[in-house]
């Protein structure tokens, strides 16, 4: 199991955060699609190798999983490990009284950063 | 000087001709037998005297590892222009064509990527807005 420090390190990079944003919008992307999304939507243009290394860091942290399907390799997002951050630092001292009032503990709030901040499934019409 | 040919390297010329004509809708322009293979080209019916696409045998030993590496990372070998990526995507999916990337807005263009079944990924693309608009 990945420790929380490794998770935080994986998140503490703006490019990796954007990769997660894009994979949350559409999970199951090739390296080519990820590179194009970063370049065309965010003006982020590192080399393909650099993106590949970012994906390896995210994979080591358990936030991205890559799967070979026939001749292609796809990358899938998995935000479940983020729960461990709020498990370690539950919402003690939190100002948000409504949360405490309805008894929701920190463990049910994954606090996924920016998930849903982007328009849902653009370009993925059925 | 002008560009009159572009090539894709295909694993099987007969299969490629079938795919590029019956699925993509190109038409055969030249087929000249040369021993075991042919000089085989197709053109777009929208531009029959335009650039010819050569369906070239991938028999050189360097080709397979090269194309396999591109395909694994989802990188298309070349790109064709279409009027409407979403409509073309739906038409091709209906014909059983497999996509590695559904239509996706990428800044000023919308793109999608499919498998030509002969060793290559191919991108289709359309400008979201015509230039100058």
Q: Please tell me the predicted confidence (pLDDT) of residue B100.
A: 98
- For residues A33 and A91, membership in a common domain is answered with no
Among A50, A72, A73, A126, the strongest candidate for a mutation testing the B interface, having the largest count of B CBs within 10 A, is A72
3-class DSSP assignment, residue B100 = strand
- For residues A70 and A86, membership in a common domain is answered with no
Q: Please tell me the predicted confidence (pLDDT) of residue A90.
A: 86
- For residues A63 and A41, membership in a common domain is answered with yes
Q: Please tell me the predicted confidence (pLDDT) of residue A108.
A: 44
Please check whether residue A118 lies inside any domain of the structure.
Answer: no
Q: Please tell me the predicted confidence (pLDDT) of residue A122.
A: 42
- For residues A27 and A72, membership in a common domain is answered with yes
Please check whether residue A69 lies inside any domain of the structure.
Answer: yes
Q: Please tell me the predicted confidence (pLDDT) of residue A121.
A: 42
Q: Please tell me the predicted confidence (pLDDT) of residue A92.
A: 74
Identity of the highest mean pLDDT range in A3-7, A104-108, B113-117: B113-117
Distance in Å, alpha carbon of B27 to nearest chain A alpha carbon: 28
Q: Torsions phi, psi of A71, nearest 5?
A: -90, -5
Q: Residue B106: closest CA among chain A residues belongs to which residue?
A: A40
Distance in Å, alpha carbon of B37 to nearest chain A alpha carbon: 26
Residues A57-61 have a mean pLDDT of 97
- For residues A52 and A93, membership in a common domain is answered with no
Q: Is the Cβ pair A123, B75 closer than 8 Å? A: no
Q: Is the Cβ pair A122, B105 closer than 8 Å? A: yes
- For residues A9 and A67, membership in a common domain is answered with yes
As a whole number of angstroms, the distance between CA B88 and CA B67 comes to: 24
Cβ atoms of A48 and B73 within 8 Å: the answer is yes
3-class DSSP assignment, residue A70 = coil
Domains in chain A, number: 2
As a whole number of angstroms, the distance between CA B111 and CA B98 comes to: 15
Q: Please tell me the predicted confidence (pLDDT) of residue A113.
A: 45
Q: Residue A29: closest CA among chain B residues belongs to which residue?
A: B101
Q: Please tell me the predicted confidence (pLDDT) of residue A3.
A: 87
Q: How many Cα neighbours within 13 Å face the side chain of A28?
A: 7
Q: Residue A38: closest CA among chain B residues belongs to which residue?
A: B106
Cβ atoms of A87 and A3 within 8 Å: the answer is no
B87 at interface of A, judged by CB pairs closer than 8 A: no
Among B75, B104, B111, B115, the strongest candidate for a mutation testing the A interface, having the largest count of A CBs within 10 A, is B104
Q: Is the Cβ pair B101, A29 closer than 8 Å? A: yes
Q: Please tell me the predicted confidence (pLDDT) of residue B130.
A: 58
Instruction: Identify the CATH number of the domain in which residue A61 sits.
Output: 1.10.10.10
Query: Across the interface, which of B86, B103, B107 has its CB nearest the CB of A40?
Result: B107
- For residues A69 and A92, membership in a common domain is answered with no
Please check whether residue A121 lies inside any domain of the structure.
Answer: no
- For residues A66 and A86, membership in a common domain is answered with no
Q: What is the pLDDT of residues A61-80, one digit of tens each?
A: 999 999 999 999 999 999 99
Q: Please tell me the predicted confidence (pLDDT) of residue B105.
A: 96
- For residues A97 and A65, membership in a common domain is answered with no
Cβ atoms of A44 and A15 within 8 Å: the answer is yes
Domains recognised in chain B with CATH numbers: 5-127 (3.10.180.10)
Please check whether residue A9 lies inside any domain of the structure.
Answer: yes
Please check whether residue A117 lies inside any domain of the structure.
Answer: no
The Cα-based distances of A96 to A91, A104, A107, B85 in angstroms read 9, 11, 15, 46
Q: Please tell me the predicted confidence (pLDDT) of residue A115.
A: 43
Q: Please tell me the predicted confidence (pLDDT) of residue A123.
A: 41
Query: Across the interface, which of A26, A73, A125 has its CB nearest the CB of B86?
Result: A125
- For residues A15 and A55, membership in a common domain is answered with yes
Q: What is the DSSP letter of B21?
A: I
Q: Residue B118: closest CA among chain A residues belongs to which residue?
A: A71
A1 at interface of B, judged by CB pairs closer than 8 A: no
Q: pLDDT tier at A97 (50, 70, 90 boundaries)?
A: low
More confident call, B132 vs A85? A85
Q: What is the DSSP letter of A44?
A: -
Cβ atoms of B101 and A30 within 8 Å: the answer is yes
Please check whether residue A116 lies inside any domain of the structure.
Answer: no
Please check whether residue A97 lies inside any domain of the structure.
Answer: yes
Please check whether residue A91 lies inside any domain of the structure.
Answer: yes
Residue A116 has pLDDT above 80, yes or no: no
Q: Splitting chain B (133 residues) into consecutive groups of 10 residues, what average pLDDT does each group show?
A: 97 98 98 96 97 97 97 98 98 98 96 98 89 54
Q: pLDDT tier at A112 (50, 70, 90 boundaries)?
A: very low
- For residues A37 and A92, membership in a common domain is answered with no
- For residues A68 and A26, membership in a common domain is answered with yes
Query: Which residue segment(s) compose the domain that A92 sits in?
Result: 81-111
């Amino acid at each position: 199991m990945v420790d929380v420090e490794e998770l935080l390190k994986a998140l503490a990079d703006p490019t990796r955060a954007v990769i997660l944003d894009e994979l949350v919008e559409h999970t199951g992307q090739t390296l080519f699609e990820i590179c194009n999304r970063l370049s065309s939507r965010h003006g982020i243009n590192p080399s393909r190798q650099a993106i590949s290394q970012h994906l390896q860091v995210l994979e080591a942290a358990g936030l991205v999983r890559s799967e070979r399907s026939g001749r292609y390799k796809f990358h899938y997002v998995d935000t479940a490990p983020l729960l461990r951050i709020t498990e370690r630092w539950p919402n003690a001292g939190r100002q948000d009284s409504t949360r405490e009032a309805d008894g929701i503990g920190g463990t049910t709030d994954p606090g996924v950063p920016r998930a849903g901040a982007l328009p849902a499934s653009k370009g993925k019409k059925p | 000087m002008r560009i009159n040919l572009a090539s894709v390297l295909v694993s099987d010329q007969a299969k490629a001709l079938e795919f590029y004509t019956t699925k993509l809708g190109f038409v055969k322009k030249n087929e000249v037998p040369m021993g075991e293979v042919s000089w085989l080209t197709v053109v777009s019916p929208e531009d029959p005297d335009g650039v010819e696409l050569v369906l070239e045998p991938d028999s050189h030993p360097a080709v397979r590892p090269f194309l396999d590496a591109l395909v694994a990372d989802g990188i298309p070998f070349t790109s064709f222009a279409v009027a409407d990526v979403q409509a073309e995507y739906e038409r091709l999916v209906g014909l059983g064509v497999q996509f590695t990337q559904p239509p996706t807005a990428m800044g000023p263009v919308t793109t999608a990527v499919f498998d030509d079944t002969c060793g290559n990924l191919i991108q289709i693309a359309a400008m979201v807005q015509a230039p100058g608009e």
